[in-house]
Structure formats: structure tokens, C-alpha cells
Amino acid sequence: MSKKFNKHMVLIMAVLLVSLILTACGGSEDTSSESSIIEAIQNSGKIVMGTSADYPPYEFHKQIDGKDTIVGFDIDIAKEIAKDLNVELEIKDMDFDGLLAALETENVDIIVAGMTPDEERSKSVDFSKVYYDPEQGLLVRNEDKDKYQSLDDLKGMKIGAQKGTIQEDVANDIEDAQVKALGKITDLVLELKNEKIDGLILAIPVAEAYDKANDDITLSPHIDFGKEGGVAVAIKKGNDELVDAINSTIDRVMEEGLLDKFIQDATALAEE
Ligand code: ARG
């Protein structure tokens, strides 16, 4: 009887010990995976952002001192995020529709690409707070400036939008529209100039930047598709500490009036 009791005790203690160890490991794993992305970023000395640098004044290519450089107010915000984390900023430029996959495969740490935090994307990534919220408009050739007076006039139109964007959805909602979706906005601008498409849906600040940089295309003064839902930084799911850190940088940048300055500077730089 007492032998049997001893056997049981040993078994119970063994089970208790194992479950204790498992709980302890599980617990530490949880906290370490939460803080580890910031730790990993700090250990590597850099934060890697993914972007699609075809989006002035947010992010675009510019010759600076004879060198091709990616600039824009998203880049300025990302530099502040890097500064607050005490690391360097590395930029990876790709097509917009490759960004979410790049984040999920950890090819980049964050996405800063004028990305709108919609429901669909929120299933696979987390978002910071919204830092900017523009309207959407239509870029057309100069001669068509007054051709489209209302959304009804767009029926059946050959219309372009960047692949994988909210604007592609807006285009698809236009009755009978023939939608052309491409990876790079710069290619869509060429399609517009070459009369392959007759309109290009863009956030208005971006449409204005392309308008100013090109003599033959202009923002339609009559068409407004409304807001797209603002833009935010995307972060891989389950990294709340990084989301918090980025949100406090965004708060600081807004409170210090830096965001307005970044937008003004980038808009001027895009026009040069
Ligand atoms: N805000 C839109 C979206 O999230 C378009 C963003 C395009 N960004 C870019 N860098 N090309 O779908």
C-alpha cells in the first residue's frame, strides 16, 4: 500500500514538475517574442522599411547631389521612428502589391508606403494610428480637364489604378469600367500620356504631384472619390510593443509640428 502510494506521489510530482517547466517556458517565450522584435531590430542596428517609391510626396526617387535617393514625408517619419529606436533606417523599394508578403516573410520590419489600414489587410498585419487622411481624385490628360463632370461620366471609362490598392477597388466599382491595374504608378502615368487609359485614380496629393511634374496631365477639378481611410504604418502581427513605439513617435512628430513640415518639404521637393 505504502509502496503504491509512493509510486503515485512520484508520478504526481513528476507531472507537476513537467507542467511547471512547460508553463515557465511558455511564459518566457511569450514575453520574449513580444519584446524580441524591438530587441532584434536594436541588435541588428537597423530597422528595414518596405515601400513603393512611386508615390510623391509620400515616397519617391529624386536625384540628390547626383545620387538616386528615395525621399518623401513617409521617409522622414520612418527616420524619426528609427531615431527613437536608436537605429539606422534601411529602405527596400518594391511594387506596392508585394509589400504585405514582404512583411509576413520578415523581409522588412515595417511598411511605410501611404498604406491604408483597411479590414482586409488588418487580418494579416497590424497598423499604427493614422497619420494622414487625403481625398482621392482623377488624373487626366489636359484636353480632358472638363470632360468628366461627375462620377456618372466615368461609366465605361478606361481607367488605371495601382495594383493591390484601395484605388483599384474604387476603379472596379465604376460601372462598366475597363480597369488597368499595374504595379508601378510611373507606368500608369505613361499609359495615361500614351492614351492607353483615360484616367488614373490617385490620392489627391499624389495626383497633384504628378500634375505639377508633367505638362500634359492634370488633376480633374470635378471628380472627387472621397477619402480612402487614411494612411498608417503596417507592422507584423503580434508585436504590440513595436506598434506602441511607432505610435509614440507619430504622436511626437505630430505634436512637434514636424509632420506638417515634412509634408511641405516633400511637396516642394517633388515639384522641383
Ligand atoms: N493608400 C492606398 C492603399 O493603401 C494607396 C497606397 C499606394 N502607395 C504607394 N506607395 N504607391 O491602397
The torsion angle over the Cα atoms of residues 89, 92, 95 and 98, rounded to 10 degrees, is -100
* Strand stretches in 56-168, DSSP E: 59-64, 67-71, 88-93, 110-115, 125-127, 135-141, 158-162
pLDDT reported for residue 36: 80
Residues 6+ apart with CB under 8 A from 73: 57, 58, 132, 259, 262, 263, 265, 266
How many angstroms separate the alpha carbon of residue 164 from the centre of ligand 1? 8
pLDDT reported for residue 78: 99
Cβ count within 10 A of residue 64: 11
Summary mean pLDDT of the chain: 92
Residue 67 DSSP SS3 = strand
State yes or no: pLDDT of 4 exceeds 60.
no
Amino acid of residue 34: E
pLDDT reported for residue 1: 44
Among 100, 227, 228, say which to mutate for ligand 1: greatest number of ligand atoms within 8 Å of CB: 228
pLDDT reported for residue 57: 98
State yes or no: pLDDT of 240 exceeds 50.
yes
Residue indicated by cell numbers 477597388: 169
pLDDT reported for residue 14: 62
Among 77, 119, 133, 167, say which to mutate for ligand 1: greatest number of ligand atoms within 8 Å of CB: 167
State yes or no: pLDDT of 25 exceeds 90.
no
Helices 73-85 and 2-44, axial angle in degrees (round to 10): 130
Q: What percent of the chain has pLDDT over 70?
A: 87
pLDDT per residue as tens digits for the range 61-76: 999 999 999 999 999 9
Handedness of CA 4, 9, 14, 15 (dihedral sign): positive
Residue indicated by cell numbers 505610435: 247
pTM of the model: 0.87
pLDDT reported for residue 13: 63
Q: Ligand 1 atom 12: the closest Cα is on which residue?
A: 165
State yes or no: pLDDT of 19 exceeds 80.
no
Q: Can you tell me which atom of ligand 1 is nearest the CA of 231? A: 1
- Which residues contact ligand 1 via a Cβ below 6 A? 51-52, 54-55, 58-59, 96, 113-116, 162, 165-166, 185, 228, 231
pLDDT reported for residue 80: 98
Q: What percent of the chain has pLDDT over 90?
A: 86
pLDDT reported for residue 82: 98
For residue 24, CA distances in Å to 31, 32, 40, 152 come to 11, 12, 22, 63
Reported as type and span, the H/E element at residue 180 is: strand 178-182
pLDDT reported for residue 154: 98
Long-range contact pairs involving 254-261 (C-beta distance under 8 Å, separation at least 24): 254/131, 258/76, 258/80, 259/73, 259/77, 259/131, 259/132
Under the banding of pLDDT at 50, 70 and 90, the label for residue 272 is: confident
pLDDT per residue as tens digits for the range 80-132: 999 999 999 999 999 999 999 999 999 999 999 999 999 999 999 999 999 99
pLDDT per residue as tens digits for the range 26-64: 433 444 444 589 999 999 999 999 999 999 999 999 999
Helices 185-193 and 204-213, axial angle in degrees (round to 10): 60
Q: Can you tell me which atom of ligand 1 is nearest the CA of 165? A: 12
pLDDT per residue as tens digits for the range 142-169: 999 999 999 999 999 999 999 999 999 9
